[in-house]
């Protein structure tokens, strides 16, 4: 097991502002946290997609949490390469999303991004679903409807 710094643990526990059931570490967007003996912290995060509006809120949350914990200076760097992929999400994150009512992504793989014909409904488990809109409550999710229980739900796209 990799030993993480106290600053890493503070940042890692911050919830995603759009999906508060998962942390930024669960999503795999927290890339690195370094700290020195003078109370300075440098945090690297990667957006789920270019232009993600949640990144500013995440950056502010990271800075606020670390300053509140007594660190003297915190900078947040957005790392764009390599690009984030849903393959970086933990299995725990996918389980939390499903329990929250958001269908988690499947594996991305190395080829072109697949467009699923069906997604398991997080409400009733049925595969008798249809995509209602390619974009859901955020650009990284699509809107689906279950034909069995008739409930709408978001599906986190495999990116």
The answer to whether position 90 is within a domain reads no
Q: What is the CATH number of the domain that holds 21?
A: 3.30.300.130
Is residue 50 located within the same domain as residue 105? Answer: no
Other beta carbons within 10 Å of 137 = 12
Residue 114 is predicted with a pLDDT of 66
Is residue 68 located within the same domain as residue 108? Answer: no
Is residue 151 located within the same domain as residue 105? Answer: yes
CA atoms within 13 A on the CB side of 78: 15
The answer to whether position 95 is within a domain reads no
**Phi, psi for 120 (deg, rounded to 5):** -65, 125
Number of H helices, E strands in the chain: 4, 7
What digits encode the pLDDT tens for the residues 82-124? 989 889 999 999 999 999 999 998 877 666 666 678 899 999 9
The answer to whether position 83 is within a domain reads no
Residue 135 is predicted with a pLDDT of 84
Query: Containing domain of residue 65, as a range?
Result: 6-78
Q: What is the dihedral of CA 75, 48, 106, 120, to 10 degrees?
A: 110
The answer to whether position 85 is within a domain reads no
* 31, two tokens: 């890339």
Q: How confident is the model at residue 1 (pLDDT cuts 50, 70, 90)?
A: very low
Is residue 73 located within the same domain as residue 110? Answer: no
The answer to whether position 84 is within a domain reads no
Residue 80 is predicted with a pLDDT of 92
If we measure between CA atoms, which residue out of 3, 7, 8, 25 comes closest to residue 16? Answer: 25
Last residue of a domain, one of 78, 112, 127: 78
Q: How confident is the model at residue 140 (pLDDT cuts 50, 70, 90)?
A: confident
What digits encode the pLDDT tens for the residues 10-47? 999 999 999 999 999 999 999 999 998 888 999 999 99
Q: Number of folded domains in the chain?
A: 2
């Amino acid at each position: 097991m990799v030993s993480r710094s106290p600053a890493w643990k503070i940042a890692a526990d911050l919830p995603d502002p759009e999906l508060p059931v998962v942390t930024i570490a669960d999503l795999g967007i927290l890339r690195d946290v370094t700290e020195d003996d003078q109370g300075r912290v440098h945090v690297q995060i990667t957006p789920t997609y270019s232009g993600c509006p949640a990144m500013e809120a995440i950056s502010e949350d990271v800075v606020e949490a670390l300053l509140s914990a007594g660190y003297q200076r915190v900078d947040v760097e957005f790392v764009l390469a390599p690009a984030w992929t849903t393959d970086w999400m933990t299995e725990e994150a996918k389980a939390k999303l499903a329990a929250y009512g958001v269908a988690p992504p499947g594996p991305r793989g190395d080829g072109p991004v697949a467009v699923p014909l069906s997604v398991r409904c997080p409400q009733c488990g049925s595969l008798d679903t249809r995509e209602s809109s390619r974009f859901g409550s955020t650009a990284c999710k699509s809107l689906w409807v279950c034909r069995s229980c008739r409930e709408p739900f978001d599906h986190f796209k495999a990116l």
